[in-house]
Amino acid sequence: MTSHRRLATTRLLPVLLIGALALAGCTGPKASGPLPGAHQQADTRDGPLRIAVVSHSTPGDAFWNVVQNGAEQAGRDLDVEVQYQADPDPGNQAKLVDNAIAQGADGLVVSLGSPEAMRTSVTNAVAAGIPVITINAGEEVSAAFGAITHVGQSEKVAGTAAGQRFSQAGKRKLLCVIHQAGVETLAQRCDGARGGFTSGEVIDLQVDINNPTDAQSRIKGALQSDPSVDGVLTLNPQVAANAVNAVRESGSRAAVSTFDLNGDVVASIQAGELLFAVDQQQYEQGYLPVVFLKLFLDNANTVGGGEPVYTGPGFVDKSTVDVVGEYARRGTR
């Protein structure tokens, strides 16, 4: 498929989704009462549906900016009021969910970076009749918490595939850089890479994404202290830039790859500084839950059949980066 046809298909997606929603609302008999499982407030309040999106990200995180773009674009396309909020502290994130309940949100989209810290708030939302969709993190507990589905990728499967790619590239020692302590999905990525990297050893390195200078220094130090490290896997695009600089400064010849995509990652792949990026298409993690909640609240539709809706993993390398890069630069990949 040419890039022109890919772009045309992408532009048609919102149109097709909106058409489906219009048909759902305009054909067949209208329900005489509230739909089963739907939030009762949706049937009585004036104005558009209100959906709260609450993530565990740090403000301004490049990855989550794309999730926010997707959610807010879906809101514009579907005439839904979307409020996006984020806090990396699990306790503060739980309070944001509690606030959404108190303010009468019609639907909730939430990432579960620290599931146990979020359990009470999420189950309280469900008990209040607010349909919940989990995204990005929390696949394993999503159904148990009462969510109607999960949208994201399997982090272990993605990590395994990344490890396999490093093995296929002939690497023997891989450094997996974890940038945020206590987030289960990041550990799952490194554990998956460890399982897929059959040609050698995987070593974890903890850094702090909020201190990029120190993160770069720690990666550089790890490469200098162990010259046998010939591969670096970062779990975030911002940290990928630190790793590329660390490789250059240390004189290492290690190949660097990363999870997730942004414009800088695209440029680094094109320049040969990154081997590949694991793309979980996070725009969909923002866009699709708003669509799914709109369909659920308006027409009692569900998706997934009890299974997660996967948005990845995909891989972006030199063979695909020019096409995907066009979308990353506009903030949708």
Identify the pLDDT of residue 182: 84
SS3 content of the chain, % helix, strand, coil (to 5): 50, 15, 35
Between 157 and 61, the more confident residue is 157
Q: Measured between alpha carbons, how far is 227 from 333 in angstroms, rounded to an integer?
A: 34
Amino acid at residue number 52: A
Q: Quick one: fold of 155-279?
A: Rossmann fold (3.40.50)
Q: 3, 10 in Cβ contact below 8 A?
A: no
Identify the pLDDT of residue 329: 83
Over range 164-171, report the average pLDDT.
97
Identify the pLDDT of residue 41: 43
The yes-or-no verdict on residue 63 having pLDDT over 70 is yes
Q: Measured between alpha carbons, how far is 231 from 195 in angstroms, rounded to an integer?
A: 15
Over the stretch 134-161, which tens digit does the pLDDT of each residue have? Answer: 999 999 999 999 999 999 999 999 999 9
Mean pLDDT of all residues belonging to the chain: 88
Domain ranges for the chain, please list them.
3-19+33-153+281-302, 155-279
Domain with residues 3-19+33-153+281-302, CATH architecture: 3-Layer(aba) Sandwich (3.40)
Over the stretch 189-243, which tens digit does the pLDDT of each residue have? Answer: 999 999 999 999 999 999 999 999 999 999 999 999 999 999 999 999 999 999 9
Cis bond upstream, residue 313 (ω within 30): yes
Lowest-confidence region among 4-13, 40-49, 177-186: 4-13
The yes-or-no verdict on residue 28 having pLDDT over 70 is no
The yes-or-no verdict on residue 20 having pLDDT over 60 is no
The yes-or-no verdict on residue 14 having pLDDT over 90 is no
Q: Measured between alpha carbons, how far is 162 from 159 in angstroms, rounded to an integer?
A: 5
Identify the pLDDT of residue 42: 42
For residue 149, the cross-strand partners are 133
Examine domains 3-19+33-153+281-302 and 155-279 and report if their fold is the same. Answer: yes
The pTM is what? 0.75
Strands 81-86 and 107-111: unpaired
Lowest-confidence region among 44-53, 141-150, 180-189: 44-53
